């Protein structure tokens, strides 16, 4: 089955019926999905002709017999609202709520204290709104979730991420969240695409402020603020077609913003103030990794003010291509040096 198709062909359609919901699994039993073949998604059967299932929605990915891809009928939990509940003192290795095969589920105005995380997987249209997460391991984690939303929540005193879009999560939004004394504010990782991270505040991050990694493409970071992060404030890694605009980064201990092995990114209108602690900590650092180019990025209209290292660095020393990058219209004040190409 090919990406964007509206049908899949099975070895046998016995046991499937029109209107069934199905889980399409690119590599059953693979466990942690660290490769592109290991995607999963929910869909619904519109009709069946012989062994061909016509679906209500186009599929998100390509699924191959060579990867032992299959489809399974599942029972959805859908159209559920959880409002105004308090979840307290869960085992720190257990989830407060674990949603699998969910659709159109909203959790709002709830409080979660002392536990692990709110976890949704193999689901779509999961919305977490206006809730509080206190003194816990992690906040919200999505795996294989499409069209999820995490909006208007408060995360305080977490040992891990406030928000994690993981394992092929697609078209998810983290917006208007406040996170303080956490590991990372928002992380998008492992083949998650088309996500939006907008207008979030992260204060006192013990690790990164925002992290993008592992072939997670077409992700947008806009209007966010990070202060007092112990590691890179915004680390964008091995991903393409990223947009990072109008973010404010201040008083962070390491590099303000990195593009590591990223191409076709737009970095524009960001304000970077008083960051870094040594001359190896830069304002905006674009660099290659083995096998990952850093080409054709646009660095435009940013303010880099008082960094301990270089203000803007383009670094191809890892041996991959670092070409066609445009650096223009930036304001640089009080860095170790200005713009460095190496």
Contact 316, 340 (CB under 8 A): no
Q: Are 325 and 300 in contact (CB under 8 A)?
A: no
DSSP string over 192-223:
-BS-EEES-EEEEESS-SEEEESS--S-EEES
Tens of pLDDT along the chain (342 residues) come to 888 899 999 999 999 999 999 999 887 655 444 455 578 889 999 999 999 999 999 998 888 877 688 899 999 999 999 999 999 876 666 788 999 999 999 999 999 998 888 999 999 999 999 999 998 889 999 999 999 999 999 999 999 999 999 988 999 999 999 999 999 999 999 989 999 999 999 999 999 999 999 889 999 999 999 999 999 999 999 999 999 999 999 999 999 999 999 999 999 999 999 999 999 999 999 999 888 999 999 999 999 999 999 999 999 988 789 999 999 999 998 777 899 998
DSSP reduced 3-state for 82: strand
Torsion angle defined by CA atoms of residues 160, 166, 170 and 173, in that order, rounded to the nearest 10 degrees:
0
- Residues present in the chain in total: 342
Positive or negative, the CA dihedral 240, 246, 247, 248 is positive
What whole-number distance in Å separates Cα of residue 153 and Cα of residue 141?
14
pLDDT of 98 reads 94
Q: Note the Cα 183 to chain centre separation in Å.
A: 15
């Amino acid at each position: 089955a090919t990406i964007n198709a509206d049908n899949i062909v099975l070895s046998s359609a016995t046991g499937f019926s029109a209107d069934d919901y199905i889980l399409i699994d690119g590599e059953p039993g693979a466990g942690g999905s660290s490769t592109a073949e290991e995607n999963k998604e929910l869909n619904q059967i519109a009709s069946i002709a012989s062994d061909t299932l016509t679906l209500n929605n186009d599929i998100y990915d390509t699924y191959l017999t060579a990867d032992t891809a299959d489809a399974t009928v599942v029972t959805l939990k859908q159209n559920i609202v959880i409002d105004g509940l308090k979840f307290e003192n869960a085992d720190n290795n257990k989830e407060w709520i674990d949603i699998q095969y969910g659709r159109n589920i909203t959790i709002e105005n709830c409080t979660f204290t002392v536990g692990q995380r709110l976890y949704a997987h193999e689901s779509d249209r999961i919305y977490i709104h206006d809730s509080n997460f206190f003194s816990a391991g992690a906040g919200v984690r999505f795996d294989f979730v499409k069209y999820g939303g995490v909006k208007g929540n408060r995360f305080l005193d977490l040992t891990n991420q406030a928000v994690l879009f993981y394992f092929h999560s697609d078209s998810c939004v983290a917006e208007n969240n406040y996170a303080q004394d956490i590991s990372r504010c928002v992380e998008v990782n492992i083949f998650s695409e088309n996500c939006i991270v907008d207008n979030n505040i992260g204060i006192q991050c013990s690790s990164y402020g925002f992290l993008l990694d592992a072939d997670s493409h077409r992700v947008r970071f806009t209007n966010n603020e990070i202060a007092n992060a112990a590691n890179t404030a915004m680390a964008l890694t091995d991903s393409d077609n990223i947009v990072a605009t109008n973010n404010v980064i201040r008083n962070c201990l390491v590099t303000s913003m990195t593009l590591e092995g990223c191409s076709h990114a737009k970095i524009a209108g960001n304000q970077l103030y008083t960051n870094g602690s040594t001359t190896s900590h830069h304002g905006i650092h674009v660099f290659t990794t083995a096998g990952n180019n850093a080409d054709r990025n646009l660095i435009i209209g940013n303010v880099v003010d008082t960094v301990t290292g270089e203000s803007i660095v383009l670094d191809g020393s890892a041996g991959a291509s670092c070409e066609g990058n445009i650096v223009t219209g930036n304001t640089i004040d009080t860095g170790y040096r200005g713009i460095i190409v190496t």
